[in-house]
Structure 1
Amino acid sequence: MSESAAPRPLPPLPTSPPVPARGFLVAVLTGLALSALADLFSLFAGLRYRTVVDGDAWFRTATAEEVESVASLYDTAARYQAIVYLPCAIVFVVWFFRMRRATGALAPDRFRSGPGWAVGAWLIPLANLWLPYRVAFDMWGATTVLPYDGGPPRTRLWPLNLWWGLFVAGTLFGRVAGSDAEDAGTLSEVRDGVARYMMADALHILAAAAAAYFAVQLTARQRYKAVHGPYGAPAPSS
């Protein structure tokens, strides 16, 4: 038998689960920052609009040109939000899916659904206010380090709950504001709709900050458990 025909040794099995590249986390944080900046611009434009437009009296101290200017500024802010939202959402969902695959290797028994639901959960109307949270909850649990004493795992859920609570609140406020804007017939109703949009923008900014913190924490937990194993780094001996 020739040397080339000899059986080749199998490659060694990986000793630890894969660790996602940091590039996706950087992309997610960048997208969240851009989204927050667009919402901040919209918040500023809404404040300008409400300052210039004075209830049902239309513009007591403002000229028609000023009213037209603030309305144009508000429309521009809305366009920026629409332009920024879709690519940022796609980047976040791709990161969410990759983290689902990475955390699934740490504790497959902790998940109630397959990796595909990390994408599909966001696409189902109404259910997308709850299903992605379940996936994120399972990921958070899978990255929890087990205690050495064999007791139940202890983990803090507030980063996850804070992000999701702000996200749902901002989403619902935005939908209510959009519905009211379509039905607005007077200037007072338009101003009230702008106020609701401003509340939604503020919640979206807070949700983006909370999502960034959640993403950083989940990535750090996944990396730590992938490197140190299910029980983490051994405690230093006294």
Structure 2
Amino acid sequence: MNEKESPLAAQASPLRPVRGAARLAVVALALAGVAWTVRAVWHIRLAMAGEPASGPPDQGNGVHRPLNALEDSYHLVSSAGGAVTVVCALVFLLWLDRVRDNARALSGKEPRYQYLWLFLGWIVPVVNLWIPRGMVADVHGSVFPDRRLPAVVNWWWGLWLAGLCGGVGLIYADSTDEVIARAYTGVWPLLAADLVIVAAAGTAALMVRTLTAAQQQRMDEVARTDS
């Protein structure tokens, strides 16, 4: 994780186009926000319908009753939302990989965190509380050491942690049937988590646009100087 000077890095690492990756990331984040909004709508529908007389889907002791139409549709909504979230994560990492490479080329410095942390930093317990934000901050700080980190980075990270650690957000400890039971008995924590995650997706999209615009401006300045 040590930062090392590498005067030849800019020559050895050509700048990579980043606008296309940024657009894809923004679209993916928007779709993730829509997916979680739809999930929130289904939480409200479940709460308004009320728990059936037959009780929750998970009856306990390994017994599950047949799902009704609304519960079955929630399973589909939940699965689709999970798939969209996975795609969004991959596209976001593609963008982050590109801006990291460009930051190294522009600054002549190696990233603070090695390439492996681009993936492990999100899933290794404890360190996932700061490494992803650190990688994003490093992208900006290595190119613009005299500029303050845009506030949107901290807003994004705070909302991400709230959604990650809220217990009913990005990581459900319960099964889908148990989440359905939660919607029947206490929907407000679920809706609060949904709102946080939608807000995190929105601020992430704004962060991608902000950092990409700054880096693209620096790349354009380098191109004009070289020409």
Gaps of 5+ in 1: 1-12, 59-66, 147-152, 234-238
Does 1:28 find its partner at 2:22?
no
* Higher gyration radius (CA): 1
Deviations 1:15-57 (A, max 9, x none): x96142422112111211111111011010001111221699x
Give the drift of 1:197: 2.7
* TM-score normalised by structure 1 residue count: 0.71
Q: Using the TM superposition, give the Cα deviation of residue 194 of structure 1 relative to its aligned residue in structure 2, in angstroms.
A: 4.2
Q: 5+ unaligned residues in a row in structure 2: which ranges?
A: 1-9, 56-66
Q: Which position in structure 2 is the counterpart of 1:4?
A: none
How big is the alpha-carbon RMSD for the aligned residues of Structure 1 and Structure 2?
3.5
1:226 to 208, 219, 222: 219
Amino acid at match of 1:89: A
CA gap of 1:137–1:100, structure 2 versus 1, over 3 A, is same
Distance (whole Å) between structure 2 residues aligned to residue 25 and residue 39 of structure 1: 21
Matches within 5 A, 1:151-162: 153-162=146-155
Query: Whole-Å Cα distance in 2 between the matches of residues 33 and 221 of structure 1?
Result: 21
Offset of residue 195 of structure 1: 3.3
- Does residue 41 (structure 1) correspond to residue 38 (structure 2)? The answer is yes
Q: Once the two structures are aligned, what percentage of the paired residues are identical? A: 27
Counting only pairs closer than 5 Å after superposition, residues 1-238 of structure 1 correspond to structure 2 as 18-53=15-50, 68-109=68-109, 111-144=111-144, 153-175=146-168, 178-179=172-173, 191-192=184-185, 194-229=187-222
Post-superposition Cα deviations, 1:86-130, rounded to whole Å, max 9, x if no partner, equal 122111112111111111222244842234432332232342232
- Output the CA distance in 2 between the equivalents of 1:190 and 1:40: 15
**Which amino acid letter does the alignment assign opposite residue 114 of structure 1?**
Q
SS at match of 2:166: helix
Structure 2 length normalisation: TM-score? 0.74
Higher RCO structure (Cα 8 Å, ≥6 apart)? 2
